[in-house]
Amino acid sequence: MPKGFKASAVSAGIKKNGKKDLALIVSDVPAAVAGVFTNNRVQAAPVVLDKQRLAFGTCRAIIANSGNANCATKQQGMADAVAMTRAVSDALSVDPQQVMAASTGVIGVPLPVEKILSAMPNLVAALDPDGFADAAEGIMTTDTKAKLVRRQGEIAGRGFQVAAMAKGAGMIRPDMATMLCFVCTDIDMDASSLQQALAYANARSFNRITIDGDTSTNDTVLVMANGRSGAAARTPEQKDAFSALLAAVLEELARMIVADGEGATKCVEIAVVNAPDEKAARQAADTVANSNLVKTAFFGEDANWGRILAALGRTGVEFDPERVDIWFGDVRIVENGSGCGAQAEAAATQVLRTPEFSVYIDLKAGASHASVLTCDFSVDYVKINADYRS
Assess whether pLDDT exceeds 70 at residue 390: no
The C-alpha angle 372, 150, 125, rounded to 5 degrees, equals: 120
Return d(Cα 357, Cα 353) in angstroms, integer.
9
Look at residue 174 in the predicted model and tell me its pLDDT: 78
pLDDT in tens, 55-76: 999 999 999 999 999 999 999 9
For the chain, the average pLDDT equals 96
Phi, psi of 246 (to 5 degrees): -60, -40
Please state the rounded mean pLDDT for residues 8-28: 97
Structural domains of the chain ordered from first start: 5-259 (3.60.70.12), 267-386 (3.10.20.340)
Structural element, H or E, at residue 224: strand 220-225
pLDDT band (50, 70, 90) for residue 238: very high
pLDDT in tens, 359-383: 999 999 999 999 999 999 999 888 8
Return d(Cα 133, Cα 127) in angstroms, integer.
12
Kind of pairing between the strands at 22-37 and 325-328: unpaired
Catalytic residue among 178, 185, 217, 315: 178
Structural element, H or E, at residue 155: strand 147-155
Please state the rounded mean pLDDT for residues 247-271: 95
Identify which of 352, 360, 274 has the alpha carbon closest to the alpha carbon of residue 319.
274
pLDDT in tens, 344-364: 999 999 999 999 999 999 999
Active site residue 178: yes
Give CA separation, 160 vs 136, 193, 362, in Å.
21, 17, 41
Burial of 317 (0-12, 13-18, 19+ CB in 10 A): buried
Identify which of 252, 240, 242 has the alpha carbon closest to the alpha carbon of residue 185.
242
